[in-house]
Amino acid sequence: MKKIINKVHIIGAGLAGLSTTVNAIKKNIDCEIYESSKIAGGRCRSFFDKKINLEIDNGNHLVFSANKNFLDFCESIGTLKTFKLISTNLIFFDLNSSNKWEISFDKNIFKEIFYKCPIPQTIFFDYLSFFKFLLVKSKTTVHELVGKSKIYKTFWEPFTLAVMNTSPNFASAKVLSNVLKETIFKGKKNCLIYQPLENWEKSLIQPALKFIKKHNVQINYNETLKKVFIDQGKIKKLVFTTKEVEINSDDRVIFAIPPSNINKLFPDYSLPCDYNTILNIHYKVSSINQKLFKNEISGFINTVSQWIFVKKDCISVTVSDANKFNTINSNDITEIVWEEICAFIGKKIPYLSSQVIKEKKATYIQSPKNNSLVQKFNNMKKNNIFAGDWTQNNLPCTIEASILSGKKAIELL
Ligand SMILES: Cc1cc2nc3c(=O)[nH]c(=O)nc-3n(C[C@H](O)[C@H](O)[C@H](O)COP(=O)(O)OP(=O)(O)OC[C@H]3O[C@@H](n4cnc5c(N)ncnc54)[C@H](O)[C@@H]3O)c2cc1C
């Protein structure tokens, strides 16, 4: 028998909420969104920043060509042409040794890795640690699996931090293995990188909002869900900042909000409660100096900086697993990181302006223990469904996971 759905109430207008809405629209399901802030996009947003005098992304988001749900979503909202595909031709720089090397994932990967052995002082044997990810137990951490490998510090640690925003000492090897199996192990066509031509707001958030507006779905901004009334296991009423919404028997509620906010509404739920910061430092430089940066993405070893991105108008640095920097003065971080960048290009150059963004709850710590909490939680059923990057416990907390969660939430109705 076909279920009758009157209306879906979607809490949160981050990517998971937007994906939920787009998928609901595609199935002709009536829906309405409630968002606590005055803008959509959540952890993936761009804004004009007065200090640096530029429009910047809150973070350096990177999406792989393997991310099919991201690509489908872009197709639905007609925005694929606003992205560029860049090669995964990564330069690594070790500040201690001043060594530089290049790893390409968009050529013949086995030749690039096992034949070329790109990391200095390594041999074929050191790369066999890749194969350890083919069979992984769910309780194993990345460090337990490959901590003794010679390429741990120069490859597994930066790769884990970039993909999972979690130190390899805690990161689930199973989740990293799933990423490897979809990207590097599948070959070059899955390893290209999508970057917006301008920024994520223009390529993803605004086009999604345009699609949603075109289909007359209402978004209620500045409406934080404060309280949920439940009767006999079913949600009956939602209380927001300025309004209350009765939930009829044919209505459904989809929570597309992070676990910390779920816990404020449902304090008894056991969900991950430890998070990692991602730190981003954006530097505006003159167009002449911008040309000194040859590769669009470079990895740094033995530095505070982990990845540097050459963007349209700025140089932007990402530091994952960055809780230790929460209490450190932003000016100090800016100077330390800039010195590392100058060492990388081999020339002391000035920057024109800068901005530091600390995303304190960028993702939860993606450990085997937290993963299993999420897995158990996903089994709960009422007239509500949970979406959000964190619900896809087989994947890292990413754009792909949040978009997939919205698609799955509508399929589950
Ligand atoms: C700095 C940084 C760098 C990143 N880099 C990458 C990357 O390179 N590649 C990648 O794929 N991913 C990356 N990510 C992760 C990616 O941004 C997230 O996985 C994704 O944006 C999460 O979307 P979401 O909708 O699940 O959650 P959110 O974006 O957190 O959206 C939740 C929304 O719900 C709203 N909300 C919360 N509580 C309530 C409430 N009670 N009532 C109403 N509304 C509420 C919030 O305001 C928010 O808008 C990065 C994240 C950060 C922070």
- Residue burial 267-285, b: 16+ Cβ < 10 Å; e: rest: eeeebbeebbbbbbbbbbb
Q: What is the mean pLDDT of the chain?
A: 94
Any idea what the Cα angle at residue 196 is, between residues 13 and 388, rounded to 5°?
30
How many Å lie between the centroid of ligand 1 and the Cα of residue 287?
Answer: 32
Domains 7-61+197-273+366-411 and 275-364 belong to one CATH topology: no
Q: What is the mean pLDDT of residues 170-184?
A: 96
Q: How many residues does the chain have?
A: 413
The closest-lying atom of ligand 1 relative to the alpha carbon of residue 18 is 25
Instruction: Give CATH superfamily name and number for 7-61+197-273+366-411.
Output: FAD/NAD(P)-binding domain (3.50.50.60)
CA distance 175 to 164: 8
Please check the confidence at residue 1 and state whether its pLDDT lies above 60.
Answer: no
How many Å lie between the centroid of ligand 1 and the Cα of residue 43?
Answer: 3
Model pLDDT, residue 87? 85
The 10s digit of each residue's pLDDT in 311-361 is 888 999 999 999 999 999 999 999 999 999 999 999 999 999 999 999 999
Could you say which DSSP state residue 172 is in? Answer: B
Query: What confidence category does residue 89 fall into, taking pLDDT thresholds of 50, 70 and 90?
Result: confident
How many Å lie between the centroid of ligand 1 and the Cα of residue 378?
Answer: 19
Model pLDDT, residue 380? 64
Query: What confidence category does residue 379 fall into, taking pLDDT thresholds of 50, 70 and 90?
Result: low
Q: Hey, which of 88, 203, 398 would you mutate to test ligand 1's pocket, going by the most ligand atoms within 8 Å of its Cβ?
A: 398
CA distance 259 to 273: 7
The 10s digit of each residue's pLDDT in 93-150 is 999 999 999 998 877 777 888 889 999 999 999 999 999 999 999 999 999 999 999 9
Model pLDDT, residue 56? 94
The closest-lying atom of ligand 1 relative to the alpha carbon of residue 39 is 49
How many Å lie between the centroid of ligand 1 and the Cα of residue 63?
Answer: 14
Maximum separation of any 2 CA atoms in the chain, in Å:
70
Instruction: Please give the structure tokens belonging to residue 408.
Output: 């799955």
How many Å lie between the centroid of ligand 1 and the Cα of residue 96?
Answer: 35
Instruction: Please give the structure tokens belonging to residue 37.
Output: 């802030």
Model pLDDT, residue 2? 60
Could you say which DSSP state residue 320 is in? Answer: -
How many Å lie between the centroid of ligand 1 and the Cα of residue 60?
Answer: 13
- Residue burial 357-367, b: 16+ Cβ < 10 Å; e: rest: bbbeebbbbbb
CA distances from 258 to 264, 274, 406 (A): 10, 12, 13
Could you say which DSSP state residue 331 is in? Answer: H
Q: Which residue's alpha carbon is at the smallest distance from atom 7 of ligand 1? A: 61
Quick check: 70 and 44 in contact, CB under 8 A? Answer: no
What residue ranges line ligand 1, CB within 6 angstroms?
A: 11-17, 34-37, 42-44, 58-59, 61-63, 224-225, 256-258, 261, 278, 280, 359, 362, 388-389, 397-400, 402
Q: Hey, which of 63, 74, 257 would you mutate to test ligand 1's pocket, going by the most ligand atoms within 8 Å of its Cβ?
A: 257
Q: Which fold has domain 275-364?
A: Polyamine Oxidase; Chain A, domain 2 (3.90.660)
Model pLDDT, residue 344? 96
The better pLDDT of the pair 143, 90 is held by: 143
What's the sign of the alpha-carbon dihedral 152, 154, 156, 162?
positive
The better pLDDT of the pair 89, 98 is held by: 98
What is the pTM assigned to this prediction? 0.96
Q: What is the mean pLDDT of residues 16-31?
A: 97
The 10s digit of each residue's pLDDT in 27-50 is 999 999 999 999 999 999 999 999
How many Å lie between the centroid of ligand 1 and the Cα of residue 184?
Answer: 26
How many Å lie between the centroid of ligand 1 and the Cα of residue 169?
Answer: 24
Domain residue limits, the chain: 7-61+197-273+366-411, 101-191, 275-364
Model pLDDT, residue 378? 66
The 10s digit of each residue's pLDDT in 380-411 is 668 999 999 999 989 999 999 999 999 999 99
The 10s digit of each residue's pLDDT in 244-288 is 999 999 999 999 999 999 999 999 889 999 999 999 999 999 999
Q: Which helix (H) or strand (E) holds 219?
A: strand 218-220
CA distance 155 to 158: 6
CA distances from 204 to 25, 71, 208, 211, 334 (A): 17, 11, 6, 11, 29
